[in-house]
Structure 1
Amino acid sequence: MAERHSTLGAIVRGLRDSNGWTLREMSERTGIPVSTLSKVEHNRLTLTYDKLQELSARLNIRMADLFADSDPAPANSPVTARRSIGTRENAFRVQTANYDYYYLCAELRRKRMIPNITTIRARSLGEFGALVRHAGEEFIYVVEGRITVHTEFYDPVTLEQGESIYIDSNMGHAYVAGPDCDEAVTLAVMSSAEDDLMDSLITMHGER
C-alpha cells in the first residue's frame, strides 16, 4: 500500500479502491457481508481476529498490513521527529477469548515499543490456558480493577489499581482478572529489538 492509513476502516477502503472493487465485489472475495464491510469502512465496527485472518488470507496480504502502511523506511535513513496521538477510537482492536487489545499509534511502523490498552476477562489460569511467551520485555500498569500475574519462575502476584510489573517476555506469563474482579483494564508496553514484534503478537493472539 502506498498511502499511510491510521484506522482499519481506511485500510479496508484503500484496499477496495486500489483494486477498483465495489463493496459487493469485495464481499464476494472476502466472505464478509456487505453491511459489515460498510460499517468497518466508516469506523463503526471492528473485526475479530478470525475475520482479520480470513481477510488477509483471501486478499493474500499479511496480517500486519491491516495495521498500517507496510513500506519500511530505507535502511540508511534515520527516523526522526515521529509522533502519533493514540486513543481508543483510533486504536487497532483485536478481540480474543481472554482479552480485548487496543493497539495504540498503530499507523507508526517499525516501532521498538508496542503500546496497548488491554481489557482482561479471564478469571483463572485454567480459563486462560497455557502460559504465553514472546521476544522482548514488557511493562504492565493496572488502570482499573486488579490482576493476578502468573509467571514461569515466580509465584503468582496480585496487582491493584495503580500498581505495575516489568517482566522478561521470553518467560512464560499470563494476566488474569484478580480476586473479586470480573474485568480489569491495563496499559501495557511491549518492546523488542526484533522488527516483527507486532506480527508475533498478532499470531500469538490468534492461537489463543
Structure 2
Amino acid sequence: MNIGIEIKKLRTEKGITLKELSEKSELSIGFLSQLERGLTTIAVDSLEKLADILEVHLTHFFDYPHKRKDKVLRSYEHEILDLVEAGFIKYSLSPNLENKHLVPRLIEILPQKKDEEILSYKHEGEEFIYVLEGILTVYINGERHEVYPGDSVHMESNIEHNWANYTNKKVKLLAVNTPNYIYNRKYYSADAE
C-alpha cells in the first residue's frame, strides 16, 4: 500500500482539505502534498497523528498481517500489533482483521513496579482473557483478582477494568475483544489496553 495515496483517499472521503489536515497535524501543507504524491516518507509518530485525524488505526496503513487472504496464521508469522510503553507487547493472532468482529491477540506483559499507578478504563464491547503463563493481576470495578495459568476472565468491557504484572516474570495471555478496534475506532481508543 502506498501510504501517501491512502492518506489522500481518506482525506478526500472525509472532506478534509490539505490546509485543515496541516493545521490539525501540525505538518506543513507542502510536506503533506509531497507525501500524498509519494515524493517523501513519513515518521511513524507523524503517521499516527494523521491516523487519529483520519479516524483509522495506525495499522490501517500496513497490509500485513491484517489484510492477508490466508485463513491460517502460523506461529512463526505472528506480527507485533502494538508495543505499549508500559511494557505490553501485543501480537495479532489473525491473518485478516478486516470485516471481523473479534480481535484475538497474544499479549506479553513485562514486570511492573507495585507502586506504579494502574488506571482503570472502560469501553464498548466484550472481553475475554485466558492466562497462559505467569500471574496476572486484574482490576474489575475496583476489585483486585490474581489470575493464574489456565484461569480466564470474561466480561462486558463497559465496566472499569485493567490489568498488571506485579511478578518478576513475564505474563503471557490470550485476549479476545469486541468490537474490532483496528477497523472501528469510534468504539475504542488506541490508548486503551
- State the distance in 1 between where 2:90 and 2:76 align: 10
Q: TM-score, normalised by structure 1?
A: 0.59
Question: The residue matched to 2:129 in structure 1 has which SS?
Answer: strand
Q: CA 1:197/1:20 → structure 2, altered by over 3 Å: closer, same or farther?
A: closer
- State the distance in 2 between where 1:150 and 1:95 align: 21
Say if 2:101 is the partner of 1:112. yes
TM superposition shift of 1:94: 0.8
Asked if the contact 2:71/2:95 (under 8 Å) is kept, the reply is no
- Please list, as runs of the form range in 1=range in 2, the aligned pairs for 1:193-204 lying within 5 A after superposition: 196=184, 200-204=188-192
Asked if the contact 1:137/1:167 (under 8 Å) is kept, the reply is yes
- State the distance in 1 between where 2:151 and 2:136 align: 10
Equivalent residue pairs, number = 155
Q: Which residue of 1 aligns with 2:149?
A: 161
1:103-152 Cα offsets, whole Å, 9 max, x none, are 22253312111100111135367525310211111110111111011111
TM superposition shift of 1:86: 5.7
Give the aligned residue type for 2:61.
L
Asked if the contact 1:133/1:171 (under 8 Å) is kept, the reply is yes
Q: TM-score, normalised by structure 2?
A: 0.63
Q: Which runs of 5+ in 2 are unaligned?
A: 7-35, 65-69
Q: Which runs of 5+ in 1 are unaligned?
A: 1-10, 33-50, 70-81
- Please list, as runs of the form range in 1=range in 2, the aligned pairs for 1:181-200 lying within 5 A after superposition: 181-192=168-179, 196=184, 200=188
Which is richer in helix? 1
TM superposition shift of 1:169: 0.8
- Please list, as runs of the form range in 1=range in 2, the aligned pairs for 1:94-173 lying within 5 A after superposition: 94-98=82-86, 99-105=88-94, 107-121=96-110, 123=112, 126-152=115-141, 155-173=143-161
Q: CA 1:85/1:103 → structure 2, altered by over 3 Å: closer, same or farther?
A: same
Following TM superposition, the consecutive aligned residue runs of length 4 or more in structure 1 with deviations greater than 4 angstroms are 16-20, 58-61
Q: Which residue of 1 aligns with 2:19?
A: none
- State the distance in 2 between where 1:175 and 1:120 align: 9
Of all paired residues, the percent bearing the same amino acid is 19
Asked if the contact 1:142/1:163 (under 8 Å) is kept, the reply is yes
- State the distance in 2 between where 1:124 and 1:87 align: 31
- State the distance in 1 between where 2:137 and 2:117 align: 12
Q: CA RMSD in A?
A: 3.5
